[in-house]
Amino acid sequence: MTKKVVLPPQEGKPSDVEEMKAASNYLRGTLEQSMQDELTSGIPDLDNRLMKFHGSYLQDDRDQRLERERKKLEPAYQFMVRLRMPAGVATSKQWLKLDELADKYGNGSIKLTTRQTIQFHGILKWNMKKHMQEINSVLLDTIAACGDVNRNVMCNANPYQSNLHREVSDIASQISQHLLPRTNAYYEIWLDHEKVVDTQEEQEPIYGALYLPRKFKIGIAVPPANDVDVFSQDIGLIAVVEKDELIGFNVAIGGGMGMTHGDTKTYPQLARVIGFVAKEKIVDVCEKIMTVQRD
């Protein structure tokens, strides 16, 4: 029998980020009001932390900082907006919309990220809502693209390579969908959905009110390719095929593990394979592993 190791509880009180999350009423905070404040193109720091869960955060043009300070102007604030795009797939219609939005509200650039998604830069506060709504108009969103949640789920880039690749790509989407925050905040703030007055714990059955301590990453590799760098993920899944049929995944755990630079108690680990899971159970297993990080 293996010996059960109990980790000592964390010392000290919860970090201020946790307090902020707890007070945010499931990622709402004062974001809505802050976005409507016409006197500044920025938002307060606390709201900016919440903003990450909505797939965006505030930046400013560093080159202009000193000059604007002298001119008695606030920094040139603008937002970065990152999509949630499991397996990095966009339809041609979606792509054309993204291309349009880059010029319409952004600074003309579309950045492809190392986690198979896309981000825009230079979005002004007054355009944020329209930008988000137009992204949603082609059935894309930005939920959980940043922040302390499960991030964009990666896998092979081309679902049309084989039936197997298509099936794995679908599973990536299912995992992404299952691990999405359930709060209605995103829809209220950006898409004008009606406010749901509900502060029960049930609102986030997986995450709870504090979400995760750090970001969480999942990637799936279909051998022989290791395009997602599977052992660098928090959960690395390696597809197992028998008679041309996907039967499940070898599961590896490790990854960045929420490492904080300069804090030697935190460190990344190359992921280690801990066993095989049938494909029908893989979504549930990912959830359970993630809740270990949560706790």
| Cα-based torsion angle of the residue sequence 36, 37, 40, 44 in order, rounded to the nearest 10 degrees | -90
Q: Give Cα separations from 129 to 186, 191, 196, 270 (angstroms).
A: 11, 8, 19, 40
What CA–CA distance (Å, rounded) separates 149 from 138?
A: 24
How far is the C-alpha of 98 from the C-alpha of 100, rounded, in Å?
A: 5
Q: Which is nearer to another protein, 76 or 286 (CB)?
A: 76
Smallest distance, another protein to C-beta of residue 71, A: 5
Q: Which of 41, 142, 232, 233 binds another protein (CB under 8 A)?
A: 41
CB of 69 to another protein, least distance (A): 8
Confirm or reject binding of residue 46 to another protein (CB under 8 A).
no
Write out the binding residues for another protein, residues 48-87 only, by CB under 8 A: 64, 67-74, 76
- Measured from the CB atom, the residue of 16 and 74 that comes closer to another protein is 74
* C-alpha span between 24 and 163 (Å, rounded): 43
Q: Which of 124, 157, 259, 273 binds another protein (CB under 8 A)?
A: 124
Closer residue to another protein, CB minimum distance, 76 or 179: 76
Pairing state between β 235-242 and 218-221? parallel
Nearer to another protein, 84 or 125 (CB): 125
Closest distance of CB 62 from another protein, Å: 15
DSSP-based helix, strand, coil % in the chain, nearest 5 = 35, 20, 45
Is residue 256 packed enough to be buried (19+ CB in 10 Å), middle (13-18) or exposed (0-12)?
middle
- The distance of closest approach from Cβ of residue 73 to another protein in the complex, given in angstroms and rounded to an integer, is 5
Q: Which residue, 41 or 169, is less far from another protein as judged by CB?
A: 41
CB of 125 to another protein, least distance (A): 9
Q: Quick one: 101 or 246, whose CB is closer to another protein?
A: 101
Least distance to another protein, CB of residue 41, Å: 7
And the tokens for 81? 């907006």
Q: Residue from 39, 197, 200, 243 that binds another protein (CB under 8 A)? A: 39
Nearer to another protein, 67 or 99 (CB): 67
Burial string for 133-151 (b: 16+ CB within 10 Å, else e) reads ebbeebebbbbbbbbbbbb
Candidates 14, 33, 126, 270: give the one binding another protein (CB under 8 A). 126
Residue appearing with tokens 């600074």: 107
Residue among 215, 295, 212, 225 at smallest CA distance from 255: 215
Site residues (vs another protein, CB under 8 A): 38-41, 64, 67-74, 76, 124, 126
